[in-house]
Amino acid sequence: MKSIGVGLIGTGYMGKCHALAWNGVAPVFGDCAHPRLVHLGEVNAELARRKADEFGFEKATGDWRQLIADPEVDVVSVTTPNAFHAEMAIAALEAGKHVWCEKPMAPAEADAERMLAAARASGRVAILGYNYIQNPAIRFIRSLLDEGAIGNPYQLRIEMDEDFMADPEALFYWKSERSSGYGALDDFAVHPLSLIRILFGGVASVFCDMSMPYADRPTAQGGRRAVETHDVATMLLKLENGMRGTIETNRSAWGRKSRLVIQIFGSKGSIFFDQERMNEVEIYQAQGPVSHQGFKRVLMSPTHPPYDSFLPAPGHQLGFNELKIIECRQLLKRIAGDEAVLIGFEDGLAIERTVHAAARSFAEGRWVAVGA
C-alpha cells in the first residue's frame, strides 16, 4: 500500500497529536505507506473546516458518520471524549475501516467488549492510543529485563501524577462526570497497566482504594456542581507471573506535570524511569566492588531505536508527540501485516477488565480477580 486515507474525529489535545503523527510518520520513517489526510470531523461544520485547514485535511464535516461513510477513508482516528469511543469505533469497524482509538476503550466494560467483538468480526486492525509504551527508553528497559540485567524481577512500583485538576476552583468539565469513567483509575492507571502488559504480562488480581479530594467544582454558568469521579486511585497488584506491584495515580498533585515513575526491583539490581525525564533510564547492578556500585544513568541515543529515525545524535531528546509518531508507524506496520508493538483491542480489553476489577475492589473492600 503506497498511501492510506485517514479520517480524524476530534481535534482537541489528542486530536492535534494524531494529526501531527499522521503528518510526520512518513518523513520520519520513510518506508511506510504515506498517509493522505482525507476527512476531519468535529462537533460542527465551521470548527471542522477551520481545523481541517490547520491540520491539512482535504474535507471537513460536522457529522462524524459522514466521515466514516467516506470511501476514501481507510483508517479512522477516534480522539473524542471517552463516552463516544465505543459508538464511533464500532461504526468505523463495521464500515470496514481500521481504527486508532485513544485510551481508554470505553467507560463501560460491556462497551469495551462490544468494541473487541466488532474488531474481530471486521478483520480490521484496531488499536488503542498508549504511546508511552513506544518510548525508546521503555524498549531499553524491556531489553534489560530480557538479558537479566537485574536478575529476577519480583516487585514493581508505578506512580502517575499530574496537577491539571489540582486547583479546587478550576471549572467543572467532562472528566469530572461519571459518564467519562471512574476518574484517575481509567484516565491515568490504564497507562501504567499498558506498561505492565508490555514489560511483564497480565494482572491476576487487584485491591484498590480511591478518593475524591474535592466534593464539587464551580461551573461556567455559576454555582457549583458535585464531582462524580475520583482524582486519586491506589492499586495493589498480583501479576500473572507471580510478581507483586503497586500503582498510585493522582490528577490533583500540585507540581507534578507528567510524572510517570517506574521502579523495578530484582534479585541483582533495580531499574528507575521517570516520564518527566523521558530520555533517561537509571539502572543499579549489584556487581563488582561495593565501593563502586551505584545507579548509572543511560541517556537515550541513536543506539536505542527508533530514536535514530528522529535524530542522529544523543542528548537532543524525544518528546510526547514523537512517541505518537512511533505509535503511528507501528499501526501502519500492523495494517501492512508486519509485527508491531501495540495495545490492540484484545490487550486493551484485558486492561479495561483490570480497571473494572479495581473499581469492584474499591466498592467491596476486597481483593478481586481480574475477569471474575
pLDDT digits (tens, 9 = 90+) for 97-117: 999 999 999 999 999 999 999
What is the domain extent for residue 96? 3-124
Angle at 29 between CA 25 and CA 30, to 5 degrees: 100
Structural domain includes residue 77: yes
Sort 208 into a burial class: Cβ within 10 Å, 0-12 / 13-18 / 19+: buried
Partners of 50 in beta bridges: none
* Same-domain pairing of 246 and 267: yes
Structural domain includes residue 369: no
Grid cell, residue 348, equals: 486493551
Structural domain includes residue 370: no
The SS3 of residue 42 is coil
Helices 136-146, 190-199: crossing angle, 10 deg rounding: 40
Structural domain includes residue 197: yes
pLDDT, position 198: 97
- Return the closest-CA partner of residue 141 out of 198, 76, 62, 68: 198
CATH of the domain at 45: 3.40.50.720
Structural domain includes residue 371: no
Grid cell, residue 228, equals: 462524580
* Same-domain pairing of 26 and 111: yes
pLDDT, position 282: 98
* Same-domain pairing of 157 and 102: no
Band the pLDDT of 163: cuts 50, 70, 90.
Answer: very high
pLDDT, position 371: 83
Tally of structural domains, the chain: 2
Give the end of a domain, one of 86, 104, 124: 124
* Same-domain pairing of 81 and 176: no
* Same-domain pairing of 143 and 39: no
Structural domain includes residue 227: yes
* Same-domain pairing of 244 and 168: yes
CATH of the domain at 266: 3.30.360.10
Whole-model pTM: value is 0.95
* Same-domain pairing of 58 and 201: no
pLDDT digits (tens, 9 = 90+) for 18-42: 999 999 999 999 989 999 999 999 9
